[in-house]
Amino acid sequence: MTRIGFSRTHADHAAFVKDGVVVLVYVDDISIFAATKELMAAVKGQLSSAYSMTDIGPIREYLGMEITQDRAAGSITLSQISYINKALAYFGYMNGRSVATPMDAKAQFAPNSGIASTASIKDYQSKVGSLTWIAIISRVDIAYDVNVLSQFSSNPSDDHHAAVSRV
């Protein structure tokens, strides 16, 4: 990217900028954000002459987020419904009941007095990891709860498992 004039940002080394254009690189995926279609076409031309690439059209999904653009309204909407549903299915919660709050307001957690099995730890960490990604992208309302529960990732108890399942 730098050899065609883009500069790597200091905040994210997978983000490049040039003349008001932002290019995000993730493994073998590139997302280009430009103010106009003409600017987008010019950047695509530069990239395709420097790299072997396939244009699959407007972005619809990126890192588990669905992306919807409404040009007339000038808006972009991010959603994680698909990612959340996949996580619910993976962990067996598709038929779970909903609750008014993600964590019981009176809940107090203590370290596990026993020793959790490797399988229990792995399962708990997987659930907390999925919830962390959801909290970071679209559900900031669960961020505090996920943060509290993440503190028990190295040795979760049955109470910790029940709490993470509630979230």
Task: State pLDDT tens for residues 43-70.
Answer: 999 888 888 888 888 888 888 889 998 8
Domain that holds residue 110: 82-166
Based on the domain organization, do 160 and 91 belong to the same domain?
yes
In a domain, 63, yes or no: no
In a domain, 117, yes or no: yes
Based on the domain organization, do 89 and 50 belong to the same domain?
no
Based on the domain organization, do 6 and 51 belong to the same domain?
yes
Query: Residue 96: what pLDDT?
Result: 81
Mean pLDDT across 112-135: 96
pLDDT at residue 36 above 90? no
Query: Residue 88: what pLDDT?
Result: 93
Based on the domain organization, do 87 and 135 belong to the same domain?
yes
As for how many domains the chain has, the answer is: 2
Mean pLDDT across 145-166: 95
Query: Residue 20: what pLDDT?
Result: 86
Within 8 A by CB and 6+ apart from 34, the residues are 20, 21, 22, 40, 43
58, 57, 80, 84: which is closest to 69 by C-alpha?
Answer: 58
